[in-house]
Homo-oligomer: A and B are copies of this chain.
């Protein structure tokens, strides 16, 4: 029997303090899966059978409208869980959201029944799950607020900074940025042209280079 130390479990804030016997259940009854980039992990007609705890990579959860437009709802990163999915698979399976591996992904997959077991047995695991829900839901509230009330130029500046991270290059097409923000490609093109005119960015096919971070930051944080 393993001692359940130094396992992937400890990479998850909120799981590392689990009781040892719970950790063992988690370790013994979950499997580590590897998923190549761009795999559809769940979606309409493809209900997820497992709760995924991401060890590396990221998963993009997006919604497709009937008219073929799409919007990105949130991302799941390493150290986080696809927990909303779990709820959704229990009932309303007919929603149109889908989860896609954005990079190669490694994850611990917990079967539905084991998940149920853990929820029943461990107060700490329950807390972990409901905390994850909480974060996702507040994220969704934020998305709604941004779509409804914020200006596109501000949202685009924020998204560019977010996607650039510590670097300066954002490798993405205008079309993809449009999906990020739930708008049309032309709108992105025009905004980026304006950013370029202000010498905040330079553009090349399939990429945006940030050359004046400050400018974007000022716009991004100008509340209103």
Are the C-beta atoms of A130 and B95 separated by less than 8 Å? no
Distance from A210 Cβ to chain B, minimum over Cβ atoms (Å): 26
Are the C-beta atoms of B134 and A88 separated by less than 8 Å? yes
In the complex, whether A1 has a CB less than 8 A from a CB of chain B is no
Q: 16 A-B residue contacts at CB 8 Å? A: A63-B145, A66-B223, A73-B141, A86-B130, A87-B134, A87-B137, A88-B138, A90-B134, A91-B130, A91-B134, A91-B135, A92-B134, A119-B126, A120-B126, A137-B140, A140-B144
In the complex, whether A7 has a CB less than 8 A from a CB of chain B is no
Are the C-beta atoms of A145 and B91 separated by less than 8 Å? no
**Residues of A125-140 whose CB lies within 8 A of B:** 126-127, 130-131, 133-135, 137-138, 140
Contact of A71 (CB < 8 Å), options: B92, B116, B123, B148: B148
Closest residue of chain B to A146 (Cβ to Cβ) is B65
**What's the number of copies of this chain in the assembled complex?**
2
Interface residues of A (CB under 8 A from B): 63, 65-67, 69, 71, 73, 84, 86-88, 90-92, 95-97, 116, 119-121, 123, 126-127, 130-131, 133-135, 137-138, 140-141, 143-145, 147-149, 182-183, 223-224
Residues of chain B lying within 8 A (CB to CB) of residue A92: 134-135, 138
Known: A141-B95, A144-B63, A144-B140. A149 touches B90 (CB 8 A): no
Q: How far is the CA of A147 from the CA of B140 in the complex (A)?
A: 13
Residues of chain B lying within 8 A (CB to CB) of residue A137: 84, 87-88, 137, 140
